[in-house]
Amino acid sequence: MSNDLIERLRTNNCDNLYEFSLRKEAAKALEAKDAKIERLEATLRGAYTENKAYAKRIAELEGALREIAKGEGRYDMDPLKHCGNTVEDMIGLAKQALGGDDE
């Protein structure tokens, strides 16, 4: 084989090895980025679910505050009625805290 042919084969071989190495590194980088993207998507899905739960809870609390603000029913402004309702509520909470005993 001529020296020129040998040199061309060496150059082509080096170029091919270098290209292969670059492709291998690029594939690894893409895999790492894909893994990061998957983790980010999972985090975003969790945050979305959490936000929906918070939005639902906020709506429930706003509804309760609106009901209380009316000053009607259990939250009547009459002092004696309000006091009686408060005591009844406290009794119910105490029973619940004691495990639902009716005694």
Q: Where in the sequence is the domain holding 7, given as residue range(s)?
A: 3-70
Query: What's the rounded mean pLDDT across residues 37-53?
Result: 94
Residue 56 to residue 59: CA distance in whole angstroms: 5
pLDDT score for 45: 94
Same domain for 48 and 59?
yes
Domains in the chain: how many in total? 2
pLDDT score for 102: 55
Diameter of the chain measured on Cα atoms: 113
pLDDT band at 65 (very low <50, low <70, confident <90, very high): confident
pLDDT band at 6 (very low <50, low <70, confident <90, very high): low
pTM of the model: 0.45
82, with CB counted inside 10 A (0-12, 13-18, 19+), is middle
pLDDT band at 9 (very low <50, low <70, confident <90, very high): low
Residue 39 to residue 35: CA distance in whole angstroms: 6
Same domain for 54 and 101?
no
Same domain for 53 and 81?
no
